[in-house]
Amino acid sequence: MEKPKLIVDGKRLDGRGFEELRPIKIEVGVLKRADGSCYLEMGKNKIIAAVYGPREVHPRHLQDPSKAVIRYRYNMAPFSVEERKKPGPDRRSVEISKVSREALEPVIMKELFPRSGIDVFVEVLQADAGTRTACLNAASVALIDAGVMMKGIVTAVAVAKVDGQIVLDPMKEEDFYGEADMPVAFLIRNDQIESIALLQMDGRMTVEEVKKGIELAKKGAMEIYRMQREAVMKKYVKEEE
Ligand code: CDP
């Protein structure tokens, strides 16, 4: 198919400005059997995250006597994408699981839970670009809901270059037809961005554009962070009443 115009009269295809996130919805504690869970929508992305643990690790030889072992599984439901996805892990989901686990590991206080395991399962029910970042946002909230001690929170968002412009939180058409896509995850501590926990890019951008993209991602991440915090507060304040 021929590439459509992605920016018309200074607006994106869905009417957003360059620095605007898609609508976000976050619900905490949606699964009864998980220790922590979160349902998250970011535009048309629909994500469920479930956290189990800290709990005993099986098989036992995988245990670490000094700290908890973290496992993260990103999975796309066969019906989540336009062209049915074959069920089960593929190269893409194995890679996303690995980098996402590595993004989360530094915030989790693993030393507090020797010999135990913390399992994070993230299911993409509907995908529309930016699923790895949306999944990380949901996983962070689910970890908090599970009561896992953390040094901060991981909040993620992608930026893209489309029709020569750097834009926040690209949707499917922008991801597909744009010039570049750059997911970024930040470690946020004491209400401030402390470091970058994940940074990937495909396509091509100038060094200046990458810098601009990171600044834009920081702004977007702070907005998402406030929503993550609000969602957690909403659940726990309500429970206390
Ligand atoms: O989702 P994310 O942007 O983190 O990863 P991606 O590999 O850049 O994929 C971008 C989008 O392509 C996904 O969010 C899906 O909407 C779509 N996709 C798909 O339609 N079928 C797949 N097997 C994988 C991705």
The DSSP line for 91-137 is HHHHHHHHHHHHHHGGGB-GGGSTTEEEEEEEEEEE-SS-HHHHHHH
239 against 166, higher pLDDT: 166
What is the tens place of the pLDDT at every residue in 69-126? 999 999 999 999 999 999 999 999 999 999 999 999 999 999 999 999 999 999 999 9
Q: Is 6 left (phi over 0), alpha (psi -120 to 50) or beta?
A: alpha
What is the tens place of the pLDDT at every residue in 151-194? 999 999 999 999 999 999 999 999 999 999 999 999 999 999 99
What pLDDT score does 161 carry?
Answer: 98
Compute the distance from residue 111 Cα to the ligand 1 centre, in Å: 35
With a cut of 80, say whether residue 238 has pLDDT above it: no
- The gap between the terminal CA atoms of the chain, to the nearest Å, is 55
Q: Name all domains of the chain by residue range, CATH numbers in brackets.
A: 14-240 (3.30.230.70)
3-class DSSP assignment, residue 70: strand
Contact yes or no for 149/112 (Cβ under 8 A): yes
Compute the distance from residue 54 Cα to the ligand 1 centre, in Å: 31
What is the tens place of the pLDDT at every residue in 12-56? 999 999 999 999 999 999 999 999 999 999 999 999 999 999 999
CA diameter of the chain:
60
Closest atom of ligand 1 to CA, residue 202: 8
Confidence of residue 237 (pLDDT cuts 50, 70, 90): confident
What is the tens place of the pLDDT at every residue in 187-217? 999 999 999 999 999 999 999 999 999 999 9
Among 45, 46, 81, 171, residue to substitute to test ligand 1 (most atoms within 8 Å of Cβ): 81
Burial of 4 (0-12, 13-18, 19+ CB in 10 A): exposed
**Type of residue numbered 198:** L
With a cut of 90, say whether residue 1 has pLDDT above it: no
What pLDDT score does 241 carry?
Answer: 67
Cα–Cα distances (Å) from 109 to 103, 135, 192, in that order, read 13, 20, 19
Task: Give the separation between CA 229 and CA 233, rounded to whole angstroms.
Answer: 6
Q: Which of 101, 120, 134, 103 is nearest to 51 (CA)?
A: 120
Ligand 1 proximity of 169 Cβ (cutoff 6 Å): no
Ligand 1 proximity of 171 Cβ (cutoff 6 Å): no
Beta-carbon contacts of residue 61 (< 8 Å; ≥ 6 apart): none
Cα–Cα distances (Å) from 221 to 82, 157, 200, in that order, read 28, 6, 16
